[in-house]
Amino acid sequence: MPIRPQDIGPAAFLEPGTAATGPSEDDPAARLRVISAFQALVDARQARWHTDDSGRTELHLDSGEIFLLRPHSVTRLR
């Protein structure tokens, strides 16, 4: 079953170059929810994890979006 944009939260609607941060920056449960949603996209074969040459973790969606995962934020690169 395909994952719908509303299933992964507001990060899916970010414009390139914007970051999702907020009051839950230090909330490990919030980070786990985001990672779990991204992993669901990978499990559904709609995305894949990528580690670049500098060791940064990115999520590449089949639809073309790329998200950079950082310890306290997610940034849409494309």
Residues 38-52 pLDDT 10s: 999 999 999 999 998
Q: Could you tell me which residue, 11 or 49, shows the higher pLDDT?
A: 49
52 assigned to some structural domain: yes
Q: For residues 22 and 37, what is the distance between their CA atoms, to the nearest angstrom? A: 18
Q: How far apart are CA 72 and CA 30, in angstroms?
A: 10
Position 55 pLDDT exceeds 90: yes
Residue numbers of the domain that contains 73: 47-77
The tally of domains found in the chain comes to: 1
Residue listed under structure tokens 């990060």: 11
With DSSP H G I counted as helix, E B as strand and the rest as coil, what are the percentages for the chain, rounded to 5? 30, 25, 40
Nearest in space to 19 (alpha carbons), one of 61, 70, 74, 65: 74
pTM score above 0.95: no
- What is the Cα–Cα distance from 21 to 25, expressed in whole angstroms? 6
Predicted local distance difference test score (pLDDT) of residue 6:
45
